[in-house]
């Protein structure tokens, strides 16, 4: 089975019932992570979670099958969560599929992978497996998602305010969800008792806008403005911004740049492309200049190295939450210095 973000949400419960192996991939890492968490929550009997890395499975391709077919110490149910990059888990999945004994659910969250990856091709045509591909949302689609979230929370939200939240969240659905939740709590809204949200309420909860949120630090880092970075890092601490959330904003912009670079091709006119994207409302007009400049800095091999750096930094933050702020500052400084070397 195959799915994208367009049809995943409506069929997630069926996927959780019918599939036993799940491969989540695509450039939208936040969407990939959220989808995997949804499936884990929908499993009929998830039991204990066993976490494995793609590097572990590449070194020992038999281990996934062994773990999936073994039971916990007390005989309880379990599911396996694999964090992999690219096709690290390919051989392990191949060995798992070759076995005959019943296996527990296996969820593979694969960065730097697509539905054209070798691992995805192993699974896409199987009725007991799911390959789910997620692309970064554009402003229009995330604005629509924000309005859906608001409706579910009992908030009456105008289009301008929904777009403001989407932009402030740097097109990250999880950050947008957080703002909608805070807004609903502030207004004491519920589906049974809807409330109308306005700009005053949004500002009262301290919701981030493009002036005091994530966009400035994203633009400073990817624009190579090294001298401005200490101020942005200090502001990040003062506002209490989550390091992983900040990194996700940078990752989303990098994914957006990758998608734009693919559209432009090696000899395409970046200026014309950006103007077309703005006209189609896939890029907010205030971001036109910054995104155009960043796309000129980050293309080809440099962009590929940027994505690799961000993936490694994300793993480091998740693996050492106590030092996340320091690791993020060091990583963003390295990226800003690289961007400055045009």
Residue 221 and residue 336 share a domain: yes
Would you tell me the crossing angle of helices 270-279 and 288-297 to the nearest 10 degrees?
140
For 289-295, what is the mean pLDDT?
92
Higher-confidence residue of 259 and 74: namely 259
DSSP state of 242: -
Residue 235 and residue 169 share a domain: no
Whether 210 maps to a domain, the answer reads no
DSSP state of 44: S
Whether 209 maps to a domain, the answer reads no
C-alpha angle with apex 334: 238 to 327, nearest 5 degrees?
50
How many domains are contained in the chain?
3
Residue 223 has pLDDT above 90, yes or no: yes
Residue 210 has pLDDT above 70, yes or no: no
Question: What are 142's two structure tokens?
Answer: 């995330």
Where residue 160 sits, what CATH number does that domain have? 1.10.8
CB 240 within 8 A of CB 299: no
CB 72 within 8 A of CB 48: yes
For 253-268, what is the mean pLDDT?
86
For 107-129, what is the mean pLDDT?
90
Residue 120 and residue 9 share a domain: yes
Higher-confidence residue of 313 and 237: namely 313
Q: What is the pLDDT of residue 245?
A: 78
Residue 304 and residue 190 share a domain: no
Higher-confidence residue of 213 and 62: namely 62
Whether 290 maps to a domain, the answer reads yes
Helix (H, G, I), strand (E, B) or coil at 26: coil
Q: What is the pLDDT of residue 206?
A: 60
Query: What proportion of the chain, given as a percentage, has pLDDT over 90?
Result: 28
User: Which of 36-45, 131-140, 329-338 is modeled with the greatest confidence?
Assistant: 329-338
If we measure between CA atoms, which residue out of 153, 177, 331 comes closest to residue 254? 331
Domain hosting residue 113, numbered range: 2-133
Greatest alpha-carbon span in the chain = 62
Where residue 29 sits, what CATH number does that domain have? 3.40.50.300
Question: Where does residue 226 fall: left (phi above 0), alpha (psi -120 to 50 degrees), or beta otherwise?
Answer: alpha
Whether 128 maps to a domain, the answer reads yes
């Amino acid at each position: 089975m195959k799915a994208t973000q367009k049809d995943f949400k409506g069929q997630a419960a069926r996927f959780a019932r019918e599939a036993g192996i799940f491969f989540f991939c695509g450039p939208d890492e936040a969407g990939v992570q959220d989808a995997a968490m949804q499936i884990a929550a929908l499993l009929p009997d998830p039991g204990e979670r066993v976490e494995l890395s793609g590097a572990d499975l590449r070194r020992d391709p038999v281990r996934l099958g062994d773990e999936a077919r073994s039971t916990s110490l007390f005989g309880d149910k379990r599911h396996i969560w694999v964090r992999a990059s690219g096709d690290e888990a390919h051989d392990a999945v191949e060995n798992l599929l070759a076995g005959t004994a019943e296996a527990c659910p296996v969820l593979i969250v694969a960065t730097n992978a697509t539905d054209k990856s070798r691992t995805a091709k192993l699974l896409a045509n199987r009725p007991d497996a799911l390959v789910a591909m997620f692309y970064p949302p554009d402003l229009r689609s995330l604005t629509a998602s924000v309005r859906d979230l608001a409706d579910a929370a009992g908030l009456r939200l105008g289009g301008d305010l929904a777009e403001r939240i989407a932009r402030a969240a740097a097109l990250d659905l999880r950050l947008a969800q957080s703002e909608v939740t805070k807004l609903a709590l502030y207004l004491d809204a519920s589906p049974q008792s809807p409330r109308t949200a306005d700009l005053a309420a949004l500002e009262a909860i301290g919701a981030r806008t493009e002036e005091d949120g994530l966009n400035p630090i994203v633009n400073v880092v990817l624009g190579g403005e090294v001298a401005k970075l200490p101020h942005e890092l200090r502001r990040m601490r003062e506002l209490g911004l989550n390091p992983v959330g900040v990194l996700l904003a940078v990752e989303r912009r990098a994914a957006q740049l990758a998608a734009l670079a693919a559209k432009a091709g090696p000899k395409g006119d970046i200026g014309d492309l950006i103007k077309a994207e703005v006209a189609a409302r896939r890029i907010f007009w205030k971001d036109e200049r910054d995104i155009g400049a960043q796309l000129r800095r980050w293309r080809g091999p440099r962009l590929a190295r940027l994505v690799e750096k961000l993936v490694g930094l994300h793993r480091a933050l998740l693996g050492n939450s106590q030092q996340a702020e320091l690791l993020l500052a060091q990583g963003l400084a390295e990226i800003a210095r690289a961007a400055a070397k045009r």
